[in-house]
Each structure stands twice: as C-alpha cells, then as structure tokens.
Amino acid sequence: MTTTHLILVPGSWLGGWAWDDVLPGLRDAGLVPHPVTLPGLDPSDDASTVTRADHVQAVVELVDRIADDDDVVLVGHSGGGAVVGEVVDRRPDRVRRAVYVDSGPLEDGNALVPDLPADSAGQAFPSWEELADGGSSLEGLDDAALERLRERALPHPAGVARAAVHVSDERRFAVPVTAICTSLPSEVLLTMVDGGPPLHTEMGRYDVTYVDLPTGHWPMFSRPDDLAAALVDAARA
C-alpha cells in the first residue's frame, strides 16, 4: 500500500514547530507529515555560514530517504516556496505534487531579499507594521498567536535570504501544483503568475489548482484545521 508523505517547509524565520497545529488533521487523514526545520532555524544552530544550497539539500535528502514506492508531496509556505521550487527542480521524478501556501516557486536568478546587506548577520524578523506594509497580512492571528510567532521566530540566514534561486530542469513543469491562496485571493494572484515583478514567480508555467482559504499570511496559526483539510485534498488530488 502506498504511503503519502507531506514534507512541510516553513517560511522565513520559522522552524518545523510552525506546523504543529496542522499535523493532527494530516495524521488523522492517514498522511505522514514531515515538518522541516531548515539549517540555521533551530536556536542551537550557527546560521552564519548557512547557504541556500544547504536549505535545498536538507529537503532533497529527506525526499531521498522516503521509499521509492511511496508518494512525496512537497509543501512550502511563504519563503519556503522558493526552497520547494528548487527541490522539485532537483527531484522532478520523485515529487508527485508541490503545494504552495501563500507562496510560489521563484524564477531562476531571483532571491527573496536580494538587497540584504552583505555584512548582515541575518534577515531579522520584522515589526508587525513592516510585515503588514510588505503584504504579510496578520489577519486571523490573535494575541496568543502573535506572541508565539514573535517569541519563536529567528533571524533568517543571510546566506539564504539574499542568494539567488537556481532552477534548470524543464521536467519540473510536469509536476502538478496546488496554490493555497490565503492573504491574496486567486483571482488577484492569477494576474501575477507569468513572471517578472512583483512576484518573480514561474507559477504560470505549471498545471496549477488554485484553492482560496481567506485569512492572513500564516494560516497554520489562524486556520490550522482548514489548512490541514486543504493539504489533505491536495495530497489526494
């Protein structure tokens, strides 16, 4: 019997803990979730030398550890979507579906924060005002969720934030995609998926199923049960 594994890649500043409230719904559906804490995002890590290649390789190695006769579904939230896009490029024959949560795969040569100063120790977690101004909606987050996010978020490794994405295998476009649209509705996202600014995403080149889940940028905190249900549907598609 085939087992479906969901590899859950969190967004910038977050560890695997960000998926805690989503995991029960996935397990109840018979899926095997793997919440990932990427290098440099554990409090005990030295993030100063962590690179984008380290993040991609960590997920590639997890994909490679899963049995060949099992399903692999990659899930990326926010900045984690850029990692997922690169992993699909490295393993297009092992990933059955990619799911982007308020996110998407970046075009080759683009970076999350290209103008981050070279001498920066990392991309600090922004203030609430800066997040809102940057389009990261806080809708649906109560005071407890905001406190949890502020307390546990870590600076994102500078070598990841400012490094360019590298993708080149055309087979990646054969891997179907689900886009779970939370802070930006699908009808708006559809006007931005054909490359270039503002998103620099290549989403428009994939076979995409768009799913609207209206809330803010962090549905794993604001609507965890609904996000789990959407991920179950995507994994079964």
* pLDDT for the residue 135: 74
**Residue 6, CA distances (Å) to 63, 156, 234 in order:** 10, 23, 10
Section 130-143 average pLDDT: 87
Q: Where are the alpha helices (DSSP H) in the chain?
A: 23-28, 52-65, 80-90, 128-133, 143-152, 158-161, 186-189, 219-222, 224-236
Q: Where are the alpha helices (DSSP H) in 98-218?
A: 128-133, 143-152, 158-161, 186-189
pTM of the model: 0.96
Length of the chain: 237
Domain residue limits, the chain: 4-236
pLDDT in tens, 61-115: 999 999 899 999 999 999 999 999 999 999 999 999 999 999 999 999 999 999 9
DSSP code for 210: E
Q: Rounded CA gap, 215 and 111, in Å?
A: 26
Q: What is the dihedral of CA 128, 134, 140, 144, to 10 degrees?
A: -20
- Which of 103, 108, 71 lies closest to 89, judged by CA? 108
For β-strands 177-181 and 208-212, DSSP reports them as: parallel
Give, in words, the CATH class of 4-236. Answer: alpha beta
* pLDDT for the residue 72: 98
- Does residue 124 have a pLDDT over 80? yes
Q: Rounded CA gap, 59 and 81, in Å?
A: 12
